[in-house]
Amino acid sequence: MQPDHTSVAIVGGGPAGLLLARLLHRAGVDAVVLESRDRAYVECRQRAGILEQATVDALREAGAGARMDREGITHDGIELRFDRRAHRVDFPSLTGGRRVMVYAQTEVVKDLVALQLADGGPLLFEAEVRAVTGADTERPVVHYRHEGRDHTLSCDYVVGCDGFHGVVKRAVPEAVRSTYERVYPYSWLGVLAEAPPVYDELIYAHSERGFALASMRSPSVSRLYLQVPNGTDPGEWPDARIWDELDARLAVDAEPGWKLERGPITAKSVLPMRSHVTEPMRYGRVLLAGDAAHIVPPTGAKGLNLAAADVVVVARALTARYRDGSTALLDSYSDTCLRRVWRAEHFSYFMTTTLHADPEQSPFDTRLQLSQLEQVSNSRHAAAELAENYTGLPIPD
């Protein structure tokens, strides 16, 4: 059945929208989730895989932590490689015990979809939202197409979790919207490989050949990245070339025989790098969350985690609104989230510009990068700042 009214319309059935739906469901607030893609696409969409402690806690609060706790891989640090040397940043000793968890976005989404379909509110796949009207009224309306027919859904609030190119953001008039953006002069070539990682934690490598990252999705699947020029065609990179380049960029003098475990590469894609923030994150009865409001380069592992923090704040605000009529948290939503967003933007910018080789940078710029990496290696304060940001700043209460 097609619902015609709900308290909260959530546009976007990715991890942010689904997590918000679960948090609202457990708080007794009814919501409808509208997702433009089909279920198979949503559950297979490859994105992030590093969860901050606050994101892990939010998934547990939503009832979606059981499989994550069984299968997720806890990491206590990362390794920085530069100047053919390696330095490990130990998170717990620098942050008072905080860690991160490797658990792929695909698995987060599968867990949340299963829960929502089992006992949550309506979750409509292949529901293409065309427009949101009445954002500045007490009864906004979502216009969408589902199963070949046009429908409307009136609601008290609309939350846009529909990504950078989503429709909900257009409900915020351009006259009140400010945009801040930086586009980087390089991209990532990301690959999935059926090869067990030969490293215990993520490796971030700065080299004269460009940046490289060795990550993982499971004990048998590696997730690997190479810095490439913008506009790169993945077809120009056969498997052997990818493995050879990864080995070269990750090499350190202390381990002359160190190489990645090779296996079939099952997916290749090129990811452009950009930083983007839209302000404010609320207009009338419309709230933006996740990529609909902000984009970060993936170097700092902040994208999914920022989205999760946004919807935790949204859920608390809407729960207060329906529990006791208070709109104080809703009124402060944008400012509350943006303070955390801009810190994450800065950290992601720092990690990106410190580790990547800009095509036009001078030898002086390279020496500055190496000096910064040396500082992280030799200063506990510098290492602690990196560790605190990587493991995630607290979500405002």
Q: What is the pLDDT of residue 365?
A: 96
Of 15, 25, 75, 206, which one is the catalytic site residue? 75
Tokens of 374: 């040396």
Tokens of 181: 């953006």
- 54 shares a domain with 143: yes
pLDDT digits (tens, 9 = 90+) for 349-384: 999 999 999 999 999 999 999 999 999 999 999 999
Q: What is the mean pLDDT of residues 191-197?
A: 95
**Structural domain for 175, as ranges:** 5-74+99-181+275-355
* Residue 204 annotated as catalytic: yes
Q: What is the mean pLDDT of residues 283-312?
A: 97
Q: What is the mean pLDDT of residues 11-25?
A: 97
Domain membership of residue 88 (yes or no) is no
- 266 shares a domain with 366: yes
Mean pLDDT of the chain: 96
Domain membership of residue 63 (yes or no) is yes
The CATH number of the domain holding residue 261 is 3.30.9.10
- 377 shares a domain with 344: no
3-state SS, residue 357: coil
Amino acid at 305: N
* Residue 283 annotated as catalytic: no
Of 186, 298, 333, 356, which one is the catalytic site residue? 298
Tokens of 62: 């939503």
Domain membership of residue 82 (yes or no) is no
Contact indicator for 300, 269 with CB cutoff of 8 Å: no
Domain membership of residue 214 (yes or no) is yes
* Residue 144 annotated as catalytic: no
- 279 shares a domain with 266: no
- 284 shares a domain with 268: no
pLDDT digits (tens, 9 = 90+) for 203-228: 999 999 999 999 998 889 999 999 99
- 254 shares a domain with 112: no
pLDDT digits (tens, 9 = 90+) for 309-354: 999 999 999 999 999 999 999 999 999 999 999 999 999 999 999 9
Q: What angle do CA 34, 39, 41 make, to 5 degrees?
A: 110
Total domain count, the chain:
2
C-alpha torsion 34→35→40→41, nearest 10: -170
- 134 shares a domain with 279: yes
- 303 shares a domain with 279: yes
Distance CA 294, CA 291 (A): 5
- 169 shares a domain with 108: yes
Domain membership of residue 350 (yes or no) is yes
> What predicted TM-score, i.e. pTM, was given to this entire model?
0.94
The CATH number of the domain holding residue 327 is 3.50.50.60
Distance CA 193, CA 18 (A): 28
Of 204, 206, 225, 356, which one is the catalytic site residue? 204
Q: Is the pLDDT of residue 148 over 90?
A: yes
* Residue 302 annotated as catalytic: yes
- 117 shares a domain with 18: yes
Domain membership of residue 236 (yes or no) is yes
Residue 139's φ and ψ, nearest 5 degrees, are -140, 75
- 268 shares a domain with 370: yes
- 188 shares a domain with 168: no
* Residue 256 annotated as catalytic: no
Domain membership of residue 397 (yes or no) is no
